Amino acid sequence: MHVIQGRVKDYDWGAAHLIPGTFGKPAASFPVAELWLGAHPAGPARCDVDSRAIALNDADLAAGEAGRHARERAASDLRGYIAADPEGTLGADVVNHHGGQLPYLLKLIAPAKPLSLQVHPSLEQARIGFDREEAAGIDVDAAERSYKDRNHKPELVYAMTQFEALVGFRTPRRILGVLEGLNTELTDALAACIRAQPDARGVRDAFASLLQEDTRPDAQAVADVVAACQNRPADDSPSPRADAIIAKLAANYPGDPGAVASLLLNPVTLQPGEAMFTPAGTVHAYTSGLGLEIMANSDNVLRAGLTSKYVNVPELLNIVETVAAPPIRIAPERISPIQSTHYAPVDDFELSIIELRHANRTASIRGAGPRIILALEGACELWTESGQQHVLNTGQAVFVRADDGKVRARGFGRFVQADVP
């Protein structure tokens, strides 16, 4: 069992206050978009910390050059710690099935404005794409690099506050209903695509027409759609929510056709404690809130818009799934009196919420293999089968090795555990 600290990602869509506030810290002077707790090479968790350290390093919240260097520097990290003893840290089964790598990445994520409209590849698509970009000599850190690794990136988000998102395509019939009455040249063209083929192919054609260079609408055409949505009375609108969403997206990304694409997508609201799974190929964008996110250990993102980062439209259209599907909400299974687990339909991860209510009574935390336990609130005492012991306070995180065996705990508070099925 080893205390770890996460790595801050200061993407421009992040909230300055939500993640620091979770750890009792004041707002940063820059966006704190994500805190990574894992072993991905782009941001492995620190291991060079003492037993009292919380998971958010104060130096990471420093402004300017000093803060940037602090975010990049670590004397030892979880990636190296695992590499020194893969079988002991991960277990033989995980080594055999996941190539000696920690299979998941746990994050806190805090969008203050919408993330990019994006899709993640399947395992086969990631391997092909990564090898193709390697052969082309594109540096893995280059801005125009789409595939950072050879892994897929299914993901599950657990809402810590109300969490808003766009996920997957509406049915063709519902899209036509949302477009009805807007009477702009662009929305009429989108509707015509779908009426010509009222299925996934028509939806793909409509979506592609917003993104591809030869059919991409200009800023004025986008503004016309936004104005039409804003001007239709809520009582007459087929979706006041869609009208509000496109206005928000356009305010953050003026002229971006991704705002119009939102009319084709399902809006989702997660209340605190609810979770949603996003499989490969599903277009999505998180728009606001604070969440815990667990995913396969990957940073592969294909972007369609709503971003200042590299957009690879041909590759995104190659992997996006346009069959209408509702968002996949994952209800937890109560596996013990203290533990509820969100099981995703993948072999890379599962996420448990642990509620301890007895400071003097020990209970078993179910799970095996490599685990990360993060204290959201409260404190507990942890014991492992291997004889390790640690007091985990609010904001602290520990990595539990596979060879530590079973974990028992006593205390009071709420904790999250990431582990491998």
Cβ pair 375, 393 in contact under 8 A = yes
284 is annotated as contributing to ligand binding: yes
> Would you give the DSSP letter of residue 249?
H
3-class secondary-structure state, position 180: coil
Q: How far apart are CA 48 and CA 55, in angstroms?
A: 12
Contact 351, 418 (CB under 8 A): yes
Q: Residues 330, 275: contact at Cβ < 8 Å?
A: yes
Is 414 annotated in the active site? no
Q: Of 407, 339, 401, 417, nearest to 94 (Cα)?
A: 401
Residue-wise DSSP of 102-137: --EEEEEE-BSSPPPEEE---HHHHHHHHHHHHHTT
Catalytic residue from among 303, 334, 401, 414: 303
* 155 annotated as belonging to a binding site for a ligand: yes
User: What are 147's two structure tokens?
Assistant: 């595939």
HEC string for 289-339: CCEEEEEECCCCCEEEECCCCCCCHHHHHHHCCCCCCCCEECCCEEEECCE
Active-site residues, by number, are 303
Residue list for the binding site: 118, 120, 155, 284
Q: Which residues are annotated as a binding site for Zn(2+)?
A: 118, 120, 155, 284
